[in-house]
Structure 1
Amino acid sequence: MGKWCHWLPHRTEECSSDLTLDCVSFFHMRVVIALVYLVVCALGLVGNLLALFLLHSRHQLHHSSIDFFVRSLAVTDLQFVLTLPFWAVDTALDFRWPFGRVMCKIVSSVTTMNMYASVFFLTAMSVARYCSLASSLRISSPKMAAARAKWASFAIWVVSLAVTMPHAIYSTTVQVSADDELCLVRFSESASGLWDSQILLGLYQTQKVLLGFVVPLVVISVCYLLLSRRVSGVVGSVGVMESSERSHQRRRSKVTRSVTILVLSFFLCWLPNQALTLWGVLIKFDLVPFSKAFYNAQAYAFPLTVCLAHTNSCLNPVLYCLMRQEYRAGLKELLLRVSLSIRNFLTLALRGKRVEEAPPSMVVTHRDVNV
C-alpha cells in the first residue's frame, strides 16, 4: 500500500489548474476507494471474528492442522483489515498522509507483513492438505499434527517479519508541500550506497512478486496436481473400500474443494495487483520504457487492483467456514441464539413500555391483584 502514491500528486496538480472530466472522475475514484476500504474493514472484522468464533467452538471436535492454519489466517486478515481505515483517510485526502512518520512505518509495515503471512498460510494449507491425504493410511496423532502446525505457524510469522524489514526500515513520509506529506517506501541515496535507489526499489518489488505470488503459486500448483492424482487413484479403488472409509474420503474431498476455492480466490484477487507491480519493476530496470499507459494504470487501475486484493480479506473466512457443513451448522445455531436474544429483549422492552404508558389506576389495580 502506499508504494504507488508518489505517482498521484502529479495528477492532482494537473487537476488544480485544469478542471476536466478526467479530473472529476479521478476525484470520484478516490471517494469510491475510500468507501470500499471502510466497507471491507467492516465486513472483514465481522467475517474474521465470526470465523474465529466458529473455529473455537468446534475446536474440541476437530484438531486438524488445516483448521489451525485457517485460524491463523483469520487472525492475519483481522490484523490486516484494521489498517484499512488509515488508508481510507489517506485516499480521501488525495493520498496525503496525516498521521505522521511513526504511524506511516507501523501501518505500512503491518499491512505488508500480513500480506506475506496471508499467502504463506494459504500455501501451508495446501501443503498440509496434500500431506494429510498422502498419509491417510498411516496412524497419526492429532496432537502431533497440531504441534507441527504450531511450529509451522511460528516459522511463517518469523519469515513474514524478516521479508517485511526493508519495508519497515525504508517506509517514511515525504514532504510535498508545507502541510502535505506522503507515506511511501523510499530508498535514499545515502542509504543505498553504490546502488541506485530505483534499482533497490525494483529489487524490493521483485521480492514482493516472487515471495508474495510466484513461489507460492508454484508450490500450491504442485501440491494440487499431486493431490488430484492421489484422489483419482483413490476413486479408482473405491469399490474395495469400506463404507466408513468412503464417508471419510468424501469428507476429505469436500474439505479439499473448499481449500482449493479459498486459494484460487486469493490468487484471482491478487493477480491484477501483482501484474501491475511487475510492470513497474520492468520499468525500474529499464527493460520496458515508461509510458502514458503505465502512468494511467498507476493513477486509475492500480488503486482498483488494491481494492480487489484487500477484498480477499473478507472472502477467506466466508469461503472456508461457510462451505463446510459443520461450520454452517454452527453459524445457524449462533444466529438462532442471537435472534432469540433479540426477540426476548424486544419483548421485555415493549412490555416495559406498555406498563409506563398505562393509566395509574390500571397500574394500582394490577398491583392489588398481584398482592
Structure 2
Amino acid sequence: MTADDNNTVCSNSSSFMNLDDIDVSADGSPFLRVLICFIYSLVCAAGLVGNLLVFFLLHRAKPERKMSRMNFFVLNLALTDLLFVLTLPFWAVDTALDFSWPFGDVMCKVVLSVTVMNMYASVFFLTAMSVTRYLSLASALKRTDAPGSRSDKWTCAVIWILATVATLPTSIFSTVSYVTGEKLCLLKFPGGQDWLAVYHIHKILVGFVVPISVVSVSYTKLVCLIHTKSMKRSSKVTRSVTILVLAFFICWMPNHAVTLWSVLVKLDAANWDRAYYVAHTYVFPLTVCLAHANSCLNPIIYCLMRPEFRTRLGLLMHRPGHTADV
C-alpha cells in the first residue's frame, strides 16, 4: 500500500505511522498480515480473560484488600486494558481486509481514540502506582498516615482526564479517507509534516519518556528505602509493580524508538535508507503487536506476582466451589 507524497496521514494498522514514509507497507506481505491477525486475536482472548479475572479476584478479595490503594489503581488499569482489547477485533478485520476500513467514520474515531487512550492511561496508572508505592512506604516509616482512598479516587479521575486530553488530537483528526484507492482509518493533519512530527514527539514524550523518568526516580528511592530498612513484605509487593513497569517499557520501547526514527527522517535529521525502509515495512508492525500485547500481560503479571491472587487462583482451579476470601 502506498500514499501520495503530498498526503500527510497516519495509519492505524501501523500505530499511527505516516503512510508516506514507505513505498510498500506491511500489507504487501500476506504472511505478515496473517501473523498480525493471529497476534491480535490471541492478545484479545488473553486480555479479555486476564482482565476479567482481575475484576473477579478483586471482587472476591477481603474488604480491606479490595479497597487498598494499589488494588484501586490495578482495577483502573484493568479497565483501560479491557477497553483496549475490545478494539482489537476491529484492527484484526482491518488487517485481514488488506488494511481497508469497513466500519465507517464514527467507529474509526472511536476505535482509534480508545487505542491511543489506552497507551496514555496505562502508563499514567503505572506511574501513579510507582509513586504511590514509594509514598506509602515512606509514610509508614515516618509513622504518618498516607493519603486515603478519597485521594486515590481523585488521582484516578485526574489520570482519566489527562489521558482524554492527550487523546484529543487523535479524536479530532481521525477520519476515513481514500489513499491511492484504499479506504483507510487514519489520522489526517491539515498542517502537513510539521504537525505530524509534533504529534509523534508529543506521544513519545507524554506517553513514554516523562512517565518512565518519573517511575525511574520513584523506584531508585524505593529500592534504597527497602534495602535500608529490610522490608521483606514491601519488597514482595514492590516487585510486582516493578515487573509491570518493566513489561510496559519492554513492550512499548521498540515502538517508540522506531516512531522517533520516523520523526527524525521527517525532520531531515536522519537519512532515508534501506534500513529505514525494512524497519518500517517489516519490523514496525511487529513492534505494534508487541505494544498491544502489554494489555494482556498486565493482569497476568499482577495475578501471578501477588501471593493472595495466586492462592485464590489455586482455589478456583482445584476447588471451584470454594468461595473463601483472599
Instruction: Please give the TM-score of this superposition, normalised by the length of structure 1.
Output: 0.78
Task: Choose which of 36, 41, 44 in structure 2 pairs with 1:38.
Answer: 41
Task: Choose which of 137, 141, 161 in structure 2 pairs with 1:158.
Answer: 161
| AA matched with 2:202 | Q
Q: CA RMSD in A?
A: 2.1
Report sequence identity in percent.
53
Change (3 A) 1:7 1:27: farther
Structure 2: state its 5+ residue gaps: 1-11
| AA matched with 1:157 | W
Change (3 A) 1:9 1:284: closer
Give matches, 1:337-356, under 5 Å. 337-338=319-320
Q: CA deviation at 1:5?
A: 7.1
Higher normalized helix content (fraction of residues): 1
Partner of 2:3: none
Aligned pair count reads 308
| AA matched with 1:313 | S
Structure 1 residue 329 corresponds to structure 2 residue 311? yes
Query: Relative contact order, CA 8 A, sep 6+: which one is greater?
Result: 2
Secondary structure of 1:61's match?
Answer: helix
Give matches, 1:1-371, under 5 Å. 1-2=12-13, 3-4=16-17, 6=19, 10-11=23-24, 26-62=29-65, 63-138=67-142, 144-176=147-179, 180-188=182-190, 192=191, 197-235=192-230, 249-338=231-320
| AA matched with 1:198 | Q
Cα distance in 2 for partners of 1:52, 1:150 equals 17
Q: CA deviation at 1:75?
A: 0.5
Secondary structure of 2:63's match?
Answer: coil
* Cα deviation digits, residues 126-171 of structure 1 (max 9, x gap): 00110011111355668x5211111100000000000100011111
Look at both structures and tell me which one has the larger radius of gyration over its CA atoms.
Answer: 1
Change (3 A) 1:289 1:277: same
Secondary structure of 2:185's match?
Answer: strand
* Cα deviation digits, residues 154-193 of structure 1 (max 9, x gap): 0000000001000111111121356x311111102xxx3x
Instruction: Please give the TM-score of this superposition, normalised by the length of structure 2.
Output: 0.89
* Cα deviation digits, residues 223-254 of structure 1 (max 9, x gap): 0101111112213xxxxxxxxxxxxx322110
Structure 1: state its 5+ residue gaps: 16-22, 236-248, 341-371
